[in-house]
Amino acid sequence: MDGHDLLEQLRGTGDWESVGDAPEHERPIRRPGVPDLSECVTHVVAGNRRMSVLKAMTTTACERDCFYCPFRAGRSAMRRVKITPDDMARGFMALYRAEAVEGLFLSSGVVRGGVSSQDAILDVGAILREKYGFRGYIHLKIMPGAERDQVVRAMALADRVSANLEAPTAERLTRIAPGKRFAEELLAPLRWVHELRQSSEGRLRASSTTEFVVGPAGEPDVELLSLTEYLHRQLGLARVYFSAFRPVPDTPLDNVAPTDDLRRIRLYQASFLIRDYGFSLEELPFTATGNLPLHTDPKRAWAEAHLREAPLEVNTASRQELLRVPGIGAKGADRILAARRRGRLRSLEDLRGVGVANVARAAPYLLLDGRRPIEQPRLF
């Protein structure tokens, strides 16, 4: 199988899951003069590096009956394909040598149980690493029902592994995927990955991620973000993805309304506050229904409640305090701290001068040398 054959086999299977560190930056690849790659090759940001990644499945057949999934058992509209590990590896390497892709994200439907399906995924990884000597980026899915030894092997082969939880609790999961066992099949592998990273003395370093389907199980945001906090703080997950539910024809949920994409964006923003900015679940601005407000981002909502009437003095605030100000990120906070060693900051122009990008957004929540800053209108 060459690269063109593999892309043709994968057509229609790839637009269903996030694979990089910044999903808002994932973009299908369309190049003039070459076959359309948009269905199964995407640009992602993994770590600090932008790369093209092939999104592939060893098979689109599945014996599971998840209510939201286009690949669910019995759905006649889905074209079923099966690609052998040798063909998958050979086709990927053809694309890699043609510089169409730099990395691989590999998943599968579940056929003959999770163990058998995981073996096929692992075989592809092993062929790429051991036969072809591929040293680039590989992300391998952990199948529901996979064994611990298979997780060990996946971590040895891959840069990243993932197991999708789909819902925040066992009760919610039964509403959308009654055949899956939340704790035993989905959460346990993520715990194993964390334990193996801790105990392998650096031999197993693959990062880990998960994904939620937002909306159809009726979960509030507080449930999703409570588990997100646990996953980041206790299991060391690099990334939690949120997929806004879209009804798929010929599924039990095809008459359920789609989830507002703005809700997905707010969940991502809140998850970054937990992962990168030191916020706890209790500090997030949930409404009485347990959801985040849609009309404003959660960092600004927190600042309105806590900093509007008690603004932060830029010249004495700690880095952690600066990170809580809208418009100030990690780079901005570090630049402010460096500038303070050279002298006091007294105006918004001083902040712009040290490289704080969103000064206007930060201004309502700051004091500069004891005074609220005044934004001078620009003439040009």
pLDDT tens-digit map of 57-77: 999 999 999 999 999 998 888
Domain boundary among the residues 283, 317, 339 is at 283
pLDDT at residue 379, rounded to an integer: 47
- Of the pLDDT bands very low, low, confident and very high (cuts 50, 70, 90), residue 321 is very high
Quote the mean pLDDT of the chain: 91
pLDDT tens-digit map of 141-166: 999 999 999 999 999 999 999 999 99
pTM for the structure as a whole: 0.91
In this structure, the answer to whether residues 267 and 199 fall within a common structural domain is yes
Is residue 295 in some structural domain? no
Half-sphere exposure of 99 (CA within 13 A, CB side): 1
In this structure, the answer to whether residues 262 and 129 fall within a common structural domain is yes
Beta-bridge partners for 140 = 106, 161
Is residue 86 in some structural domain? yes
The total number of structural domains in the chain stands at 2
Structural domain boundaries, residue 55 = 3-283
In this structure, the answer to whether residues 314 and 253 fall within a common structural domain is no
Is residue 292 in some structural domain? no
- Alpha carbons 291 and 268: distance in angstroms, whole number: 13
Q: How many Cβ atoms from other residues are within 10 Å of residue 299's Cβ?
A: 23
For β-strands 207-214 and 160-162, DSSP reports them as parallel
**306: Cβ–Cβ under 8 A, 6 or more apart, which residues?**
324
- Of the pLDDT bands very low, low, confident and very high (cuts 50, 70, 90), residue 37 is low
pLDDT tens-digit map of 261-315: 999 999 999 999 999 999 999 999 999 999 999 999 999 999 999 999 999 999 9
- Of the pLDDT bands very low, low, confident and very high (cuts 50, 70, 90), residue 216 is very high
Is residue 290 in some structural domain? no
In this structure, the answer to whether residues 195 and 311 fall within a common structural domain is no
pLDDT tens-digit map of 322-361: 999 999 999 999 999 999 999 999 999 999 999 998 999 9
pLDDT at residue 78, rounded to an integer: 82
